[in-house]
Amino acid sequence: MPSTASACHRRATVLALAISTALLPLACVPAVQAQTAIVAPLRQYTIPEQPLADAVRAFGRQADVQVVFRSDLVEGRRSSAVSGEYSQMQALQQLLRGSGVRAQRGMDGTWSLRAAAESGEGEGVRVTETLDVAGRLQSEGGEARDRRGYDDVFALDLTTAYSGRDRVERYRGSNPADVVKDLVGVFSGDARNSGALDINIRGIQGPGRVPVSIDGGEQALTVWRGYNGVSNRNYIDPNLIGGIQVIKGPGLVRDVHSGIGGALVIKTIAVDDIVEAGERFGGELKIEGSSNAVAPRLPRLHTGEDYRTVPGFPQGSPNSPYDDRTLVVPVKSRSGNNPFDGEDQAWRLALGVRGDNVDLMAAYAWRKRGNYFSGSKGSGYYDQDRREQFEYQGIDYITTLARYFKPDDEVPNTSSEQESWLVKGSWQINDDQQLKATWRRTLSHYGEIMPSRILSAPDYGRIQWPLSRVASDAWNLEYRFQPAGSRWLDLYANLWRTETDSDTYTAGGFPNFAPGNPAWNPGVSPILRNTALANARNDRTGLTLSNRFALHSTLDLTVGGNWQYEKLGSRDPYFGTTDGWRMFPRAGRRQEGEGYLNLEWRPVDFLTLNAGVRYSRYWAFDDFLQAHPELLTKGVGSKEATYRTNELPERPASLQAEIDALEAEREFWESIGMGSVIDDALHGLLAYYETPQAVEHRLPWLPDANGNYARATNPCLNGEVAGIPGVLPIYPGSDLVCTIGNTMQSRPVDGRNDRRRDHAWLPTFSATVNLSKAARVYLRYSEAVRFPSMFESTIAFSSSLNPLYTLKPEHAYNYELGYVHNLSGLFGNTADADVKLAYYVHKTRNVIERDAYFLFDNIDKQTIRGIELQARFDNRRFFTDLGISRTLENEVCDESTAVLLDANRGLVPNCVQDGFVSGYLLTQAIPKLSVNLSLGTRLFDERLELGSRIVHYQRHENPDLQAYRDRLLVGGSSLLWQNVPFTWGNITTVDAYARWRFNEHASVELVGSNLGNRYYVDPATRSTLPAPGRTLKLGITARF
């Protein structure tokens, strides 16, 4: 094994080589800067004189370029006519002549319009290339960022989705998870009981599978949910979001850390969101109030008190107080829809300064929201027969949800209070270089209850726990270097760090817990303490680095990499395995990095080819196990088959001596006429040995070298037992002749703790064919790996690393075939009109899954196939967006898991829908059909905007799960209680809004969410909490 010193030296050498490769072009900077500028291409333009807004949009379509502007800037202005062959700069100069508006071009080619200065720019127009009038690099933000995000949905040759600042703030909803409801095929797990995002893309969810980055940094925390799985939480204040981009599926996307399921990229608001174009200073104040909320009645805990003196505390079960009446509150019913009458208020103040070389922005946001009320309509699916006996066995808790959480009633544990600070600064070092720094802090208190504690209480619709607390800080430093006209330098670097400190109600215990009664056991204490609260400290440091080389006019090379180091710890003490139902305080360290290169070749005008390769590696170390190695030094179980046969009892060696002794006495008994006594005695002695008896036998059932079991080696299924003559039913009246059971072996588990490590090489390829100027088709193939996460690399209760077998990384193989068509030509190039259809196949091998013994293992594979349609139309008067996602297949296969679930009969198939019972995949299922439709209109010179959104999810159905319930659960064998899969009914919600802009400085917006007041639960939920009912929000925005 290499020494630590040599390993460190090797890593340092690799890192130095990667950085040197990316920075090598710096040596050529003087020569590059001295090169002659590339001649701009010419294009034919035909734009008549017309309102300036329409003319600029026509220019954008004919030039195939983005132009970003404020509607109030061009209102009432007219353009000049443009006809002939021009470059983009020349065409804009002609178009804007005499308009009082100037244009500037950003680094990415996007044009933005600004008001002309009073001196010298009224008649002519200044149009600049990559540098603006102050000579600075452009930082994309505000409308330019959102315009690019929406256009990239159809411009990129992969499937993405985008939600800009306006949509995020409009449909912010009651919980952070509501911000992704606008994105088709994207969900958030445990939306109402986490205070965070847990992203699910196309049915792929979990730590590391879908990384969430905020300004390039990551801070995900994997949180245990008792017997209801886990939640991979990403904490963000929606008040600070500038835009959200979803990348579906893995790929080599520059400066994005993508997992096997894709990535979610969040950008926070920037100075361009606050300071108007052409202005030096600006500010924005936003005030909001919403209905449908009531202040929570938080319980007073009794920590430090003798439980025998606390009224309402269960006196007979202090160490399992499921029926703690001190935590039960009288829930309220809905009253009114006044936006300022509810306990939901928010405000945000942001200030920005734009200088010649330095930009600064600072923002503060606050929101306080009480418990919300559920809906009242359509609760039939959730109000079926109680079937308590089946609920106990874990069939389905959702179908009786409305019996406990009454429609239109308050839903406890759904309140929150959040405040955030955001500071950004950018320094234009010179014409080619830019440095940006960001600091963000969020402090959140939110309602939360352990899902298994909801279900185990007699009246779980009225339990209120105290609030969880999460404080997170994030810093990042971005550097860009892009000399004008350079072929060799397009450098980006981002150094980031996140620190998250959480005290959440996820430990698994009880808010009021006492070990016992000294009268029953003199060694225990009656003093109450809080065993439900868990502390965790998660720190991450990361670096993103990339550079793009223009090797030829038809060939580009991008090289880059990502690296991050993670440390997890806890301030919680450890008192042993029976400490008040608490899980172990996880602690560990983990490091992961990757380097990649990607070539883009355009051999002919209609064809683009991409080919790339990525190298990834990681290591992880369990600090808690290092401190407590005894937790893994214990016996381990194995499997054996039991069956019975009828056999004559074996005659002992002493039997003949007993017979001879009786025969010796025969003469005497016959002499007195009672010889039958000997006959009866001999008969009684031999009858037992001459009558067949049921004899129990055992056969071992051994796993393979990887710990997997097979049907072919199962004595109950492979015919080995069935072929034995005289085999008996395992018990009278049963048709089973064999059962599989566990036995303990004395073989110890090695408690030594080494770093777990792995690596992988991964290819990508794509081809795009332009069928015409408006239509194209693309094919993508990509591979990705997911190494075991921190959660999967550390020991704890209910979900822990396997001490016998090392986890393999998940390996994903992905195909996507897409067709894109620009339909704007059908509307005279006066509208944005696009449609995109994609078919995808996502196959993952060695999926990391929790087994029936609470250990993480690799299962064979998961295959997900589906179709997505995205379309848009916007002619400035009417607009609509449509997204449809249809999952064709979500199949999980693993023979070992299947045969262990029904080892006696073998009725569980090797491949099932969504996942196997007791595992996590089953609870990450999404609707087979989801539809997002938005439509609206702009009136009165776009001062009034009216719009609505309809979201539909198909009811959850899983025939394989139902078959398991029907066959096994009724017979008393159940594993569902370890991770109960929750269902949902058909869901259709309607939202709408109206926004009126008084002038460029003030606007007001009214938003209605769930206008039908539907009663439902969110897909992929892990808690039995209904979603919010009808909510009205009134917001006022003032800009200065």
pLDDT at 18 > cutoff 60: no
User: What percent of the chain has a predicted confidence (pLDDT) above 90?
Assistant: 57
357, 741, 816, 840 from 864: Cα distances, Å = 50, 34, 12, 8
- Of residues 642, 717, 640, the one with CA closest to residue 899: 717
641, 695, 899 from 698: Cα distances, Å = 5, 10, 19
Cα angle, residue 345 at apex, residues 340 and 349 outer, rounded to 5°: 125
Give the start-end residues of each E strand in 917-986.
929-939, 944-953
User: Mean of the pLDDT values across residues 52-60?
Assistant: 87
Fold designation for 268-522+536-634+751-1039:
Maltoporin; Chain A (2.40.170)
Pair 256, 294: CB distance under 8 Å: no
Q: How confident is the model at residue 975 (pLDDT cuts 50, 70, 90)?
A: low
pLDDT at 23 > cutoff 60: no
Write down the pLDDT at residue 872.
97
Fold designation for 38-133:
Phage tail protein beta-alpha-beta fold (3.55.50)
Write down the pLDDT at residue 368.
95
Write down the pLDDT at residue 101.
84
Q: Say how far apart CA 379 and CA 390 lie, in whole Å.
A: 20
Both tokens assigned to 414: 């759904």
What are the backbone angles phi and psi of residue 958, rounded to the nearest 5°?
-140, 95
Write down the pLDDT at residue 970.
59
User: Mean of the pLDDT values across residues 476-493?
Assistant: 92
Write down the pLDDT at residue 626.
85
User: Mean of the pLDDT values across residues 336-347?
Assistant: 78
Which DSSP category does 377 fall into?
B
For the chain, the structural domain boundaries read 1-34, 38-133, 268-522+536-634+751-1039, 635-644+693-748, 649-691
Both tokens assigned to 1036: 């006022």
What are the backbone angles phi and psi of residue 671, rounded to the nearest 5°?
-65, -25
Tell me if residue 661 falls in helix, strand or coil. Answer: helix
Both tokens assigned to 323: 């029926």
* Interstrand relation of 111-115 and 67-68 (parallel, antiparallel or unpaired): parallel
User: Mean of the pLDDT values across residues 449-465?
Assistant: 83
- Of residues 589, 532, 581, the one with CA closest to residue 564: 589
Q: Say how far apart CA 562 and CA 255 lie, in whole Å.
A: 8
Write down the pLDDT at residue 28.
38
pLDDT at 535 > cutoff 90: yes
pLDDT at 7 > cutoff 80: no
- Of residues 157, 133, 438, the one with CA closest to residue 278: 133
Give the start-end residues of each E strand in 16-76.
43-47, 67-68
Q: How confident is the model at residue 346 (pLDDT cuts 50, 70, 90)?
A: very high
40, 71, 317, 877, 929 from 47: Cα distances, Å = 20, 19, 81, 20, 43
Q: Say how far apart CA 268 and CA 986 lie, in whole Å.
A: 34
> Quick check: do 38-133 and 268-522+536-634+751-1039 share a fold?
no
pTM, whole model, 2 decimals?
Answer: 0.85
Write down the pLDDT at residue 570.
93
The more confident residue out of 39 and 45 is 45
The more confident residue out of 669 and 568 is 568
Give the start-end residues of each E strand in 976-1030.
987-999, 1002-1009
Pair 337, 284: CB distance under 8 Å: no
pLDDT at 35 > cutoff 90: no
Handedness of CA 969, 974, 977, 982 (dihedral sign): negative
Q: Say how far apart CA 221 and CA 471 lie, in whole Å.
A: 12
Both tokens assigned to 705: 């070298």
Q: What is the mean pLDDT of the chain?
A: 86
- Of residues 302, 613, 673, 312, the one with CA closest to residue 462: 312
Q: Say how far apart CA 130 and CA 111 lie, in whole Å.
A: 9
> What are the CB-based long-range contacts (under 8 Å, 24+) for 526-530?
526/306, 526/307, 526/308, 526/318, 527/304, 527/305, 527/306, 527/307, 528/301, 528/302, 528/303, 528/304, 528/305, 528/306, 528/307, 528/310, 528/313, 528/318, 529/303, 529/304, 529/580, 530/301, 530/303
Quick one: how many helices (H) and strands (E) in the chain? Answer: 17, 44
Q: Say how far apart CA 219 and CA 240 lie, in whole Å.
A: 16
Both tokens assigned to 646: 């009828």
